[in-house]
Amino acid sequence: MSHFKHHVFFCTNQRAAGESCCNNHGACDMRAYAKDQVKALGARMPGKVRINAAGCLDRCEKGPVMVVYPEAVWYTYVDREDIDEIIESHLIGGKVVARLKVD
């Protein structure tokens, strides 16, 4: 049994000026927001959830991106409402958010 039910990795890579990267879309801020939300919702979480920063996940064209393990579901997001939906639906409810999923 794993120590965490879910590991969530946010690409927070920052490339040189002008090059496409997740952090140009606020990835660090969104990761911090997700971490705070998961902590605040702790009692509602069905198992421990770890929110991690990651370097480049090599999906810049789909960015910003995050990946949820152990399911290996990749998501993109635009704002806090998208993060809230992923937390509520996937991390708490166990249902993938199809509209935010990337292949």
Cα 40 to chain center, whole Å? 16
Nearby residues of 30 by Cβ (< 8 Å), 6 or more positions away: 10, 64, 77, 80, 83
What are the residue boundaries of the structural domains of the chain, listed by start? 6-102
Closest Cα to residue 34, out of 97, 2, 77, 74? 77
pTM confidence score:
0.92
Tell whether the model's pLDDT for residue 46 goes beyond 90. no
pLDDT tens track for 63-96: 799 999 999 999 999 999 999 999 999 999 999 9
Nearby residues of 14 by Cβ (< 8 Å), 6 or more positions away: 21, 23, 24
CATH 3.40.50.620 assigned to 6-102: no
